[in-house]
Amino acid sequence: MGRHFALSLILIFLLFFLPWLWGEPTRAVQEEPPAGDTEPDGEEEPPEAPPEEPSAAASIDKNRKLNILAGGQLRQTDMESYLMGVVRAEMPAAFELEALKAQAVAARTYTLHKMQNGGSANHPEADACDDITCCQAYLSQEEAAQNWGDQAPAWEEKVRAAVTGTDLYRNVGRMLRTGALPTLLTLGAYLVLSQLHPLSQVDGAVLSALSDRFVLSWWTLLPAAVMFLLPLLKVPIQWTILISSGLSAVIAALVQGFSPAEILSAAWGGYRPEDPALAAVLSGGGVTSMASSYVIVVLTGLYSGLLEGTGALTPLSVRARALADRTGRFPAMIAVSVLCAAVLCNQAVTSMMGAQLLESAYDDREELAMDIENSGILIAGLIPWSIACSIPLAMLGAGNGAILYAFLLWLIPICYLGTKKKFYPQNGHPSSPPPSRGGKKKRGEP
């Protein structure tokens, strides 16, 4: 087990340095020449296929700057980011996407109306504030993540889709397509391992003890099926967990013959079978097993608050953008995700930090979301002390060596690194903005 843990740490180390091994230096971005400085006889740049833009309003919102007074502090942001903060604050993210879109349209209309009419006398230096008696409510991404918990990445993407007019389910479809090859490779790896090390040969006593102690019925799959299906039906995760836990308790009592006291004891302190063969496989779980994870949650919240409040992210963002210029956007996102997951220990914070540090390198917000989904969301589950890794291991009673066998978490970022150009052929490597449409380049400009 110790060797497996050491090997998993080596793989994480290699994953962190993979961007430098994979990436190619990009050419320096040259500024657009001023009018009259172009070569009149130069060959005109052929028209580039327009990037996939969600809507005209989204493009304008990204470029329109405004000053907002939030939390007593004046800050500059763009209209898109401001509207996302308004939607986060004024409507639950669990609402239907069309409702969130309507909220975004109303917030945009109200904000533009106030700006065109000179703003508010209460804050002449700001275009808007977070006081609902004056302007509109506003909630930052960090504050919303603390309220949303594990749902933060999904709901943040949902709010973004509502504000920018992007198709949320098109993004989900892309995520499934980018994950198809890693999924097939993972199934193949597990199939090979199961053939090489069948459970009946490793320890036949375990199979015998399982059949003696438990009723191996199809009913036992129902709680897992609920956890998989209900989120697809847009049922809130809190209700999904509650329903799945309730079904587990009912099945444990009616099918497996556990008493209510045994069920409650296992839920609180974990399951401890008397049979030594089962104890080696099934011991663990319970609320108390996650006590150290609760401490990690509190510490990561303090980390993110300190970084945001002290302005420490600004120089980090500059360095992250420079890394993206050298290696490409996704390799840079991998490196940033490894560092954030290792230091902040939180999956939601890792995804938010990746977006904040590298947002300026992306022209396509859907590409940014996809890169985060295929890097930070998964890499957090490979860091032993991260919440996304430590809590599942604690619940299962497994050691850190199990990380080595989380093949899907390893393979998705690695495969996407080599296949991203197939999904984003125009946006694959350099982080520089595309050439201006309709313009001419200086002779000799790359």
Question: pLDDT of 195-253, one tens digit each?
Answer: 887 766 556 666 677 777 777 788 888 988 888 888 777 777 778 888 988 999 999 88
- At 431, the pLDDT band (50, 70, 90 cuts) reads very low
Polymer length of the chain: 446
Round to whole Å and give the CA distance between 145 and 348: 7
108 contact partners, CB below 8 Å, separation of at least 6: 57, 61, 79, 83
Q: By percentage, how much of the chain surpasses pLDDT 70?
A: 71
pLDDT at 45: 43
CB atoms within 10 A of CB 191: 10
- At 44, the pLDDT band (50, 70, 90 cuts) reads very low
Upper half-sphere CA count for residue 391 (Cβ side, 13 Å) = 15
CA distances from 132 to 74, 90, 112, 137 (A): 17, 10, 16, 5
CB atoms within 10 A of CB 398: 15
pLDDT at 4: 55
Round to whole Å and give the CA distance between 198 and 216: 18
pLDDT at 171: 66
Main-chain phi, psi angles of 445, to 5 degrees: -75, 135
How does the average pLDDT of the chain come out, rounded?
75
